[in-house]
Amino acid sequence: MEKRTLRSLEVSALGLGCMGMSAFYGSADEDEAIATIQRALELGTNFLDTAQLYGPLTNEILVGRAIKGHRDEYVIATKFARRMDNATPGDMSTLGPLDGSAEHVRTSIEGSLQRLGTDYVDLYYQHRVDPNVPIEETVGAMAELVQEGKIRHIGLSEASADTLRRAEAVHPDHRAADRVLNL
């Protein structure tokens, strides 16, 4: 499998989006999904994309089960955006509002790490930028998680060029492994 570099993060040229394995496209077969994730690795696809929103919450659990015992062979990307304090796994109607606050960034990663069964994620990104919280606060909290070793790379999804410039000012290239990615 060819590799691609996202800033300094090397991933397989083909990634596996796991969203549909537990949400949005009808019923799912967990055993088949786990087999698919494991077979993807056998074929050289090591880049998995998930999010706390998918399911909600259930997709990260599924990915965690699939990678158990082989964590270091995978590149795991997961996302945060909405409050999940009162979320019921599998029930989209229980999601809270967007929240880019530093406190939410921290509680979200803790939940993701627990559901994934790991102590770090390779790429952690904001699924949707919260217009009510300065990006400097959000990325500042994410940068602290890089320093703590809980995440290795930071990303933003659906961010404007101005937002990316402001994020980069908060978290410049201290190490090659922790630049802001626009996904």
Q: pLDDT tens-digit profile of 43-100? A: 999 999 999 999 999 999 999 999 999 999 999 999 999 999 889 988 888 999 999 9
Phi, psi of 127 (to 5 degrees): -65, -45
Residues labelled catalytic? 54
Q: What own/partner pairs with CB < 8 Å and gap ≥ 24 does 162-168 have?
A: 163/129, 163/135, 166/134, 166/135, 166/136, 167/135, 167/136, 167/138, 167/139
* pTM for this model (two decimals): 0.90
Q: How far is CA 63 from CA 12, 25, 52, 97, 165, in A?
A: 17, 17, 11, 25, 32
Strand partners, 181: 155
DSSP at 183 = -
